[in-house]
Amino acid sequence: MSTAATRNVLVLGAGGGLGQALIARFLSDPEVGMVIAVSRSGQTKDLSAPWLSQSRLVWIQSQYDEQSMLEVVGKLVPYAGTFSRVCICHGILHDDHLWPEKRFEDIDASAMLEIFQANTITPSLWLKVLHKTLASKLPCIVAVFSARVGSTSDNRLGGWYSYRASKAALNSLLKSFAVEYARRLKNVKLIAFHPGTVDTDLSKPFQASVPEQNLFSAVFVADQLAEIMASADLDGQLSYLDWAGKSIQF
């Protein structure tokens, strides 16, 4: 069990490539106590590298409806007040029946609802249900995976209607959370994080058009985010940052 002096890490949506890379990155940090991972599936075999200390990893399997999230919060009670880092890694761009829209004729209501559920609603529900768990005197940096295409002012190409809108809506919600967190959880700093194009399943269908130097490994992005979180200030503001730590316009 953790103590209040321990810096623990919580990774939500841990089953994807970036979630796994973040788990490995934080487990390699001797200043981190426990890493708590939450995903729909059980613990992935990709984390079986011999240098990982599995005794410091707790994996919780959960669905992402609010009741299931509250059950996760119940399991986090022994760690309440000890989290210094939280990564909310949820997101969907495509799957077997979803694809980014090229034209407005491609917009489909059921697909849009599914994308908003994953990209906007699920991260927001985590921030709703976790507030007591995160409350502490310990500084806690929360990074939520957004995307540059969620920037309304940076939209010059159009298309990808649902994905763009879901990330823009996420950014708007994060701004409101930051305002209220600044009053009620002064130890928490929120970051909307754009990881760039990462070599994971999410980006594979689109990698052919990405220059090699702009396609990042999950390990690289995990290292970048860890550094960004380490240098973040508790300023009560939402930061919208890319993988290099540069600000993005909303």
Give the model's pLDDT for residue 167.
97
Q: 6-39 burial, b for 16+ CB within 10 Å, e for fewer?
A: bbbbbbbbbbbbbbbbbbbbbbeeeebbbbbbbb
Nearest to 95 by CA among 80, 105, 84, 110: 110
The top-level CATH class assigned to 7-242 is: alpha beta
Residue 222 in this model has a pLDDT that exceeds 60:
yes
94-119 mean pLDDT:
91
Helices 122-129, 66-75: crossing angle, 10 deg rounding: 40
**Nearest-angstrom CA–CA distance, 171 and 163:** 12
Residue 3 in this model has a pLDDT that exceeds 50:
no
* Residue 76: alpha-carbon gap to chain centroid: 18
48-68 mean pLDDT:
83
**Nearest-angstrom CA–CA distance, 190 and 207:** 29
150-158 mean pLDDT:
92
Helices 161-184, 109-116: crossing angle, 10 deg rounding: 30
In the chain, where are the structural domains located? 7-242
169-182 mean pLDDT:
98
pLDDT higher at 200 or 37: 37
Question: Whole-model pTM?
Answer: 0.91
Q: Which of 73-87, 204-218, 222-236 has the lowest mean pLDDT?
A: 204-218
125-132 mean pLDDT:
98
Alpha helix positions (H), 39-186: 66-75, 109-116, 122-129, 131-134, 161-184
Mean pLDDT of the chain: 90
Q: Which of 41-45, 49-53, 187-191 has the lowest mean pLDDT?
A: 49-53
Give the model's pLDDT for residue 124.
98
Q: Which of 34-43, 74-83, 164-173 has the lowest mean pLDDT?
A: 34-43
Half-sphere exposure of 27 (CA within 13 A, CB side): 24
Question: Three-state DSSP class for 247?
Answer: strand
Give the model's pLDDT for residue 48.
56
Residue 1 in this model has a pLDDT that exceeds 50:
no
